[in-house]
Amino acid sequence: MEITTLGAGCFWCVEAIYKRLRGVKQVTSGYAGGNVENPSYEEVSTGTTGHAEVCQIEFDPEDITFEELLSVFFRIHDPTTLNRQGNDIGPQYRSVIFYHSDQQRETAERIKGELVLSKRYSRPIVTEIAPFTNFYPAEEYHHDYFSRNHSQPYCRLVIDPKVAKFEKEFEHLLVR
């Protein structure tokens, strides 16, 4: 098993998508990259702790590669917006890959570089690639939020369309 830690805006969206991928064994919403131990959601939401909302993803590299996980990552959010995803604004919503090994760092840098060269995006990619230093699981009510709160307006209006787009584009990577 391997672990990666990814921030692509609201962790509810990221969790809802990565739980649907084959080879992904566990997805845990939480906070990473900051300078406060065991921060609360309220603290992270101020944008002053340095943490990003992330998902820590445990995966089997024999079933899904880190490169495939990053392919999904770069398609499910806008990696060109600094400290923002849609209406979610602040450094806690930044685009970030916290790598757990030199191999993950090299892969992330290569894929980001290939995307820059491809000119897929009209603006510069601002995704941060940083060494993993800490992870604090989010409060229990954040875990499996989409599945447990599907009728909530945010889930229906924001997460549902992202999941539908993802499932169409990445059908070949879905749990069967």
155 is catalytic: no
24 Cβ neighbours under 8 A, 6+ residues apart = 18, 57, 58, 59, 64
Give the β-pairing of 95-99 and 128-131. parallel
Catalogue the active-site residues: 10
